[in-house]
Structure 1
Amino acid sequence: MKAMVLRAPIGLERLTMEERPDPGTPGRGEILVALHGSSLNFHDLGVATGRMPTEDGRVPLADGAGVVEAVGDGVTEFKAGDTVVSCFFPDWQDGAPTIGDFSRTPGDGIDGFAQEHVVLPASAFTHAPEGYDAVEAATITTAGLTAWRALVVDGRLKAGDTVLLLGTGGVSIWALQIAKLMGASVAITSSSDDKLERARALGADFCVNYRDEPAWGRTVLDWTGGRGVDHVVEVGGPGTLAQSIEAVRLGGHISLIGVLTGAAGEVPTAALMAKQARLQGLIVGSRREQQDFVRALDAGGIRPVIDRRFALDELADAFRYEASGGHFGKIGIEW
């Protein structure tokens, strides 16, 4: 079977299509999945460019979706022909977080899904949302579930709440769709007026170009009449956190999920204390949370926003497109 592989020294120019042995038949508790789609995440880009170290020969991509071709003894949740999607943390099944690194994340600590077939424990997958193709399904594994956990699981989002989203990448656009599905009002930022218009078409209630308005936290605060937003999905990190704290309401919730502006920096602790806000870090979610998310998608009827699709052998070009920052929503890989 074909697989894209990262060869040392790790970099996009070292992404190589290789022939690998077929994974064989599934053992007890395992399933054989024919993979047909994936989507790109900032984390995947970090691995593929060598910014996040991984092993020589690693198969990249944390997201994978496809069709079950065979099941091993003892598997009752899936059958041949089912469409399935992978889990970012295959060992975190339910409950409180059990892992805080990427040692068991596909495409990082273990082989990912840029390949044609895998045999893995059935517990490493969930059913895909009804009617989704493989690329659409793959967008829920990392970006979609992160947004779901930030707003619904940890944030306890309810109708009438206000939400602030930063940028128009995969997590933020998923969060926009989830928030509107749940009856919330949404403010969103971008440096592109064209992207803001696209976000408005998806239901965004208030759009801010942060290049034109560098004090966008105050702008969003004013939009709420001085109350502040109930939830912030904070994907920027240290370079945007102060503005997010400015925008949040007293006792509000900030989900810290991204490091686009850096992995470390100053935290305006006095401002955070004054707001008495809950600042919570998170990394994706559990298998049970993904199952809950899939049920919500089946009931709600929303579909992910796919900016562009690339073939598997165009993976390096797809990563370069991601690095350019020109995308809106998710970038898909299909084969």
Structure 2
Amino acid sequence: MSGFCEGRVVVVTGAGRGLGRAHALAFAAEGARVVVNDLGVALDGARDAESPATRVVAEIRAAGGEAVAHAGDIATGEGAASLIRVALETYGRLDTLVNNAGFLRDRMLVNLDEDDWDAVVRVHLKGHFLPLKHAAAHWRAETRAGRTPVARVVHTSSGAGLLGSVGQGNYSAAKAGIVALTLVAAAELGRYGVQVNAIAPAARTRMTERTFATAMAAPDDGFDAMAPRNVSPLVVWLGSAAGEGVTGQVFEVEGGRIAVMEGWRPGPSVDKSARWAPAELDAVVGELLAGARPPGPVYGSRGH
């Protein structure tokens, strides 16, 4: 253990497998005490027989670290509140929240049931909001008591949330919502010593193995660019006391590549200073689009 996060208490949701597990192990390796949350569900949201959170806790403890499991549903008010209570009651503080939990129910839009929409948006978007809300309430109370924290939040979006993904309308919408939530939280919570950022990771996990089946096969030797552990160093850095002033940002991370994502901002514009007639807009919109940067292609489309 190098001690980069020595003394910090970190909560990671969806930490039983994949990216969340890699994050939990990486924080523990840097000296953090970790609350490992995982509801223990299959890829479609059905409950597993065994809690993966306890297995990750055992891994951390076997390596000499400190961790505790939480198996509550963080997309409920009580589950999210109990997650924060576990950190405070076990370790007496909370420094970092990493929201990562999620699952998939992929369908083309015309086949997407309302239940599939609600379930995915609930776990990804509501499952980010509720732990954030309860953690933020604690940090606000600390600030008002004269103990302004050095608090960090890392949210998990996706390329699907930035560009869209064919067959994943529910997932893409939820992940886009997480970006907007990140921006709002960064603006609102800075006064309480909280920095909030998001990542859009690409790695081999249960959720991505079918989408990237061939490209994500692990190599026989050398650097495995699609290993989840490659994403974790940036998450650990964002969740540490380092990076003062880095907030409201979205980072794409894959293998050894990190990119700052640049969101919506005004491009070419025209102002008539009066109301437009619809018939006038043929040429106007065409000229605006001709001068604009084209958007990235939607994942799964012919252009990607």
Question: Is the pair's TM-score, using the shorter chain for normalization, greater than 0.5?
Answer: no
State the structure with more CA Rg: 2
| Larger RCO (alpha carbons 8 Å, 6+ apart) | 1
* Greater fraction of residues in helix: 2
> If each structure's strand is expressed as a fraction of its own residues, which one has the higher value?
1
Instruction: Please classify the TM superposition score into its range, dividing by the shorter chain length.
Output: 0.3 to 0.5
TM-score (norm 2): 0.38
Normalized against structure 1, the TM-score is what?
0.35
